[in-house]
């Protein structure tokens, strides 16, 4: 078969992309004494032909990738019929974060999928050690994944943490997200609607649901602005759309009268 025919036939399907992400997660596990950490962040690179073919369903691929990661962890953490309990495997940074890009590499072939995962260790100032990010790069080609690179990055400084949210997602699991910027947009997000904090939630929650602002100059206050279709309430009081409202340091933010976010300042 000539090179042109191979190029026409080779392609990365959505299923291939999902399996490539799960394979990378398993390659990049970091064992501790009482638990094992899995990377939470994945950057996926596709050949231009594959990217153009699947770009209309990238949000669906990302969503099913998160489901597949959850299912694989559940399977790996399942108690065996005999023997000791397995050491629990859990995401290092809470929710999964998956980004999909078009590769700029000239030798990248149609059908190839490169996954670059990141697992950041905690800062330990008492020992003079800063945060490090372990990265594992895998390539899936012709139905098989292989590790091609492992390296560490030094973090220049610890990422600020202003507040956190916890909520029950549409998948039935508890999710936690951290506010690391002073101004964030929160919602379901989407390929053309980038959110700083993306919620795994029902369709009644808007893709852009509310803005949250941390104002250090006014005494470390938080402010919230509803921009959603079906509304936002704080501790039972509905917000006026488009108006900034002071947010207590601990509150329940209800979205679309159906989903509760437990908010807490850090």
- CATH number of the domain bearing residue 238: 2.60.200.20
One domain, residues 187 and 255: yes
One domain, residues 22 and 124: yes
CATH number of the domain within which 45 lies? 3.30.2320.60
- Residue 131 within a domain: yes
- Residue 211 within a domain: yes
* 251 bridge partner residues: 263
pTM higher than 0.75, yes or no?
no
One domain, residues 95 and 174: no
Chain-centre distance of CA 27, in angstroms? 18
Of 102, 123, 154, the last residue of a domain is 154
For the stretch 216-251, pLDDT in tens is: 776 679 999 999 999 999 999 999 999 999 999 999
Quote the domain boundaries for residue 78.
8-154
- Indicate the number of domains in the chain: 2
For the stretch 102-154, pLDDT in tens is: 888 777 889 999 999 988 765 444 333 455 777 888 888 777 778 777 777 66
Of 137, 154, 171, the last residue of a domain is 154
One domain, residues 12 and 140: yes
- Residue 143 within a domain: yes
Q: Among candidates 176, 233, 237, which has minimal Cα distance to 210?
A: 233
One domain, residues 30 and 82: yes
- CA neighbours within 13 Å on the CB side: how many for 17? 31
Chain-centre distance of CA 19, in angstroms? 16
Of 134, 154, 174, the last residue of a domain is 154
């Amino acid at each position: 078969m000539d090179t042109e025919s191979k190029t026409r036939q080779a392609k990365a399907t959505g299923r291939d992309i999902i399996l490539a992400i799960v394979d990378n997660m398993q390659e990049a596990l970091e064992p501790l004494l009482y638990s094992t950490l899995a990377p939470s962040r994945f950057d996926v690179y596709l050949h231009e032909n594959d990217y153009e073919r699947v770009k209309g369903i990238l949000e669906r691929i990302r969503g099913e990738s998160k489901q597949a990661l959850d299912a694989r962890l559940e399977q790996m953490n399942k108690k065996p019929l005999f023997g000791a309990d397995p050491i629990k495997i859990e995401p290092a940074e809470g929710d999964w974060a998956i980004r999909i890009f078009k590769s700029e590499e000239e030798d990248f072939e149609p059908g190839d999928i490169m996954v670059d995962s990141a697992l950041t260790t905690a800062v330990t100032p008492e020992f003079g050690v800063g945060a490090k990010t372990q990265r594992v790069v895998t390539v899936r080609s012709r139905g098989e994944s292989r590790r091609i690179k492992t390296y560490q990055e030094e973090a220049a400084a610890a990422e600020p943490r202003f507040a956190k949210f916890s909520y029950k997602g549409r998948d039935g699991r508890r999710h936690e997200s951290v506010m690391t910027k002073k101004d964030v947009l929160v919602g379901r997000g989407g390929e053309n609607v980038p959110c700083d904090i993306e919620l795994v939630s029902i369709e009644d929650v808007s893709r852009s649901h509310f803005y949250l602002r941390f104002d250090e100059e006014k005494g470390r206050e938080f402010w919230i602005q509803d921009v959603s279709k079906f509304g936002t309430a704080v501790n039972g009081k509905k917000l006026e759309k488009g108006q900034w409202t002071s947010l207590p340091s601990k509150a329940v933010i209800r979205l679309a009268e159906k989903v509760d976010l437990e908010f807490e300042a850090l």
